[in-house]
Amino acid sequence: MKKVFAVLTILLFASTSAFAADIELAKKSTLEEIQKRGELRVGFEAGYMPFEMTDKNGKFVGFDIDVAKAMAKAMKVKFVPVNTAWDGIIPALITKKFDIIMSGMTLTQERNLKINFANPYIVVGQTIILAKKHEDTVKSYKDLNDPKYVVTSKLGTTGEQAVKRMIPKCTYKSFETETEAALEVATGKADAYVYDQPNCVVFMAQQGEGKLVFLDKPFTYEPLAWAVRKGDPDLLNWLNNFLNQIKQDGTYETIYNKWITNTKWYKNVAK
């Protein structure tokens, strides 16, 4: 009987300790910090159309911005945008410059070693903007796997990774911004531009008519997701439930149609 009592005592102590640890973990959650602060600080790099941009009035706009505002509203806190250079955005999250990255970030295993991701909120892939002179000879990314073709993309992105991995024989040129890389093709200095589908849709609407060809079928699978610091299950749980909710109540569809399926917003974007 004493042994049974001892075992029960140990189990009770263990469960009590585990419960106490869970309470302490919850208290340390960024979700609690956001509530106490009354602000949701969102990190992004303005310039990735149509996800985060600056309009002619200097305001941040875009798909991610609208979702972030909806998120802050659901938390009943103020939305605080934190525009951050892409090459420093993950270190800035880790050092608590903001609470979450909402910046069209692709979920990759390499990034996941440093930060955690919520469930993907949209899936995109790499597509190709092609010089019109090649429309009869280049039908897919495979046709560009030749040194005679100059292919561009943005430095440090999954577009660049896709080029190096899937068409390694091409002549690759990297650029600091998406626009610089795409303009190389539009001005006849390169043969093809590889980048995320939404960005290519926008550039085609801007400058593609009559001189560029859009190979719009993605040749990679790339889920975009919100990133948070490691060790915060409560915030991840909230984010995943929030995403499911807005996809069910029509909020997500409204934002998607506003920024992804048309380009009417482009006339209000700062050039």
Residues 6+ apart with CB under 8 A from 173: 150, 151, 152, 181, 184, 190
Same domain, 194 and 205: yes
What total number of domains does the chain contain? 2
pLDDT in tens, 72-109: 999 999 999 999 999 999 999 999 999 999 999 989 99
pLDDT of the residue at 9: 57
- The answer to whether residue 84 sits within a structural domain is yes
Same domain, 82 and 105: yes
pLDDT of the residue at 131: 97
pLDDT band at 51 (very low <50, low <70, confident <90, very high): very high
Per the structure, the complete domain to which residue 189 belongs is given by 126-220
pLDDT band at 3 (very low <50, low <70, confident <90, very high): low
Provide the CATH number for the domain around residue 111: 3.40.190.10
Q: In what order do the strands lie in the sheet with 100-101?
A: 78-83, 39-44, 100-101, 227-228, 116-117
Same domain, 78 and 112: yes
pLDDT in tens, 183-231: 999 999 999 999 998 889 889 888 887 889 999 888 998 899 999 999 9
Q: Is the pTM higher than 0.85?
A: no
pLDDT of the residue at 2: 54
